[in-house]
Structure 1
């Protein structure tokens, strides 16, 4: 466990009511089991803490639309930047972070993530997953 007063390296907020999001985070939790047990990484259900990131100006709907996270320095990460941070922390997936998070690929990675997130959000709303 972390020392008292120490922040996790990454706290990820996601929508457990979205089956795609929940399955993806479930996979990452299994890959990061030691980091989760040690408290270095947290995965948190935004539906249980709807105002968790209000201080950053992020609404419940913003977080249902795109992954959000805070790092150990208290910086907010959104969307593809969260995915890249999780890949960096996941054994065997650092190469994905390097490939999709490099300065040349990152703008396209963010665009692709945002379009997919928009489609997934619309699908979840149509299915009444709120």
Structure 2
């Protein structure tokens, strides 16, 4: 099988993250089966993105993804890349990923991710 077009790295120990990825996997079942997209739990492969200078804590804080050409995506850019590949969700990528909205999308994602990360740490989900 060839390398997936998009590999998404997420933290399965975060219940919000895990639920969101589970939802996307169900929506993208054909793409996953065909090997076009992969979802990988960083807790099973903590050093997976070390070559990019990305730590386990970085991935626990924000979604990360790699494209087949090796490009690294982080945070809101990962969500947009997944929406582009998800049937019926391309409009979300267009709305939140357009040049005018993207800075606000990234800011809002990062603030939410910071809160979620702090909540998970308080709950001991590591």
TM-score above 0.5: yes
Q: Which of 5, 20, 23 is the aligned partner of 1:9?
A: 5
TM superposition outliers: structure 1 runs of 4+ over 4 Å: none
Q: Deviations over 1:34-89 (max 9, x none)?
A: 00011100000000000000000100000000000001111000000000000000
Which residue matches 2:42?
46
Q: Which of 16, 21, 36 is the aligned partner of 1:20?
A: 16
TM-score, normalisation: structure 2: 0.99
Structure 2 gap ranges (5+): none
Which residue matches 2:31?
35
RMSD: 0.5
Instruction: Give the match's secondary structure for 1:77.
Output: strand
Q: Number of matched residues? A: 126
Looking at structure 2, the residues matched to 73 and 92 of structure 1 have their Cα atoms a distance apart, in angstroms, of 26
Is 1:82 the equivalent of 2:78? yes
Q: Deviations over 1:84-110 (max 9, x none)?
A: 000000000000000000000000000
Q: Which of 93, 96, 100 is the aligned partner of 2:92?
A: 96
TM-score, normalisation: structure 1: 0.96
